[in-house]
Amino acid sequence: MKEGRLFDSRDTSSSAPVIVINETFARHFWPKESAVGHRISVNAPDPIWRTVIGVVADVQERGYGLWMKPGVYVPAAQPVDGGGLADYLIVRTKNEPVSVIQTVRRVITGVDPGQPVSNVQTMNEIIDENVADRRQQMTLLGSFAGLALLLASIGLYSVLSYAVTQRSREIGLRMALGASARSVTNMVVLHGISLTGAGLLIGLFTSWAATRVLKNLLYGVSTADPATFAVVSSFLIVIALAASWIPARRASHVDPIVVLRED
């Protein structure tokens, strides 16, 4: 519920016709005012005017791949065009849904022995069927993304580690002139992190621009999902710290005279 009320015992076949609409309907027809209290008709050619008594959140009943459309709900006692009840019965359970299937069948048979019950599915099964094609695509894409992250991590560690190793003579000279091992290590690590930070800024901007093409493959998550970007960035920063700190610490514990004599 977003506004107003849902159907209750007051909404019978003999009471005034009422209707509940979704948010898309309300935004489209009454963008700057409350929809509750307005009257609409979904019957043609003989309109039955129904009073809007509530606004509910949008539901992707047509599937996650289609745009939301204006939607309406009417009480079972006041069907549209004289129709009967819906073809689907939805049962909310507290336990495992499969465990109550036989009980629901017995209850329905007790009400109407001639009413067939078929195509029984849990909500998870229905969702799985709807997202199966996208799950395959995202699994493949996620595998390539994981491989790319692994290669980026290996490359980042190798390049930074090699760059620090190349500075061994500079580290030895600084320590020979009185610099402490801690200050030298911090200097090298900060340099590595600054390079990594610059690369991350470029990478984040490029990634954000590239995710526009993935928009139609995602549902329930933004293409610029901050959690994903934060996790990947944090992982690469940790790799950069290790790539800078390990060789810098090793070099800072070597005798400066030995290092200077190597050349």
What is the chain written as a DSSP string? Answer: --EE----TT--TTSPPEEEEEHHHHHHH-TTS--TT-EE---SSS---EEEEEEE----TT-TTS-----EE--TTS-GGG--S-S------SS-GGGGHHHHHHHHHHH-TT--------HHHHHHHHHHHHHHHHHHHHHHHHHHHHHHHHHHHHHHHHHHHHTHHHHHHHHHTT--HHHHHHHHHHHHHHHHHHHHHHHHHHHHHHGGGGGGG-SSS-TT-HHHHHHHHHHHHHHHHHHHHHHHHHHHTS-HHHHHHT-
Residue 214, pLDDT score: 72
Q: What pLDDT digit, counting tens, does each position of 14-35 carry?
A: 999 999 999 999 999 999 999 9
In this predicted structure, the answer to whether residue 229 has a pLDDT above a threshold of 90 is no
Q: Which two tokens stand for residue 188?
A: 């090298």
Residue 216, pLDDT score: 65
Average pLDDT over residues 121-145: 86
In this predicted structure, the answer to whether residue 256 has a pLDDT above a threshold of 60 is yes
Question: Which residue would you say has higher pLDDT here, 59 or 210?
Answer: 59
Answer for the pair 60, 68: CB distance below 8 angstroms, yes or no.
Answer: yes
Which of the listed ranges 2-11, 147-156, 222-231 does the model predict with the highest average pLDDT? Answer: 2-11
Residue 259, pLDDT score: 64
Average pLDDT over residues 226-255: 84
Average pLDDT over residues 40-59: 89
Q: What pLDDT digit, counting tens, does each position of 171-213 carry?
A: 777 877 888 888 888 888 888 888 889 999 998 888 888 877 7
Residue 218, pLDDT score: 67
In this predicted structure, the answer to whether residue 255 has a pLDDT above a threshold of 90 is no
Express as a percent the part of the chain with pLDDT over 90.
32
Phi, psi of 67 (to 5 degrees): -70, 150
Q: What pLDDT digit, counting tens, does each position of 73-109 carry?
A: 999 888 877 555 557 888 999 888 988 999 999 999 9
Question: Which residue would you say has higher pLDDT here, 69 or 169?
Answer: 69
Residue 260, pLDDT score: 63
* Structure-token match 């004289």, residue found: 82
Q: Tell me what the pLDDT averaged over the chain comes to.
A: 85
Residue 192's nearest CA partner among 238, 243, 134, 252 is 243
Can you tell me the distance from the alpha carbon of 72 to that of 82, in angstroms, rounded to the nearest whole number? 16
Answer for the pair 72, 21: CB distance below 8 angstroms, yes or no.
Answer: yes
Q: What residue segments make up the domains of the chain, in order of their start?
A: 3-86, 87-120, 131-261
Answer for the pair 242, 157: CB distance below 8 angstroms, yes or no.
Answer: yes
Residue 73, pLDDT score: 93
Residue 180, pLDDT score: 84
Question: Which residue would you say has higher pLDDT here, 263 or 74?
Answer: 74
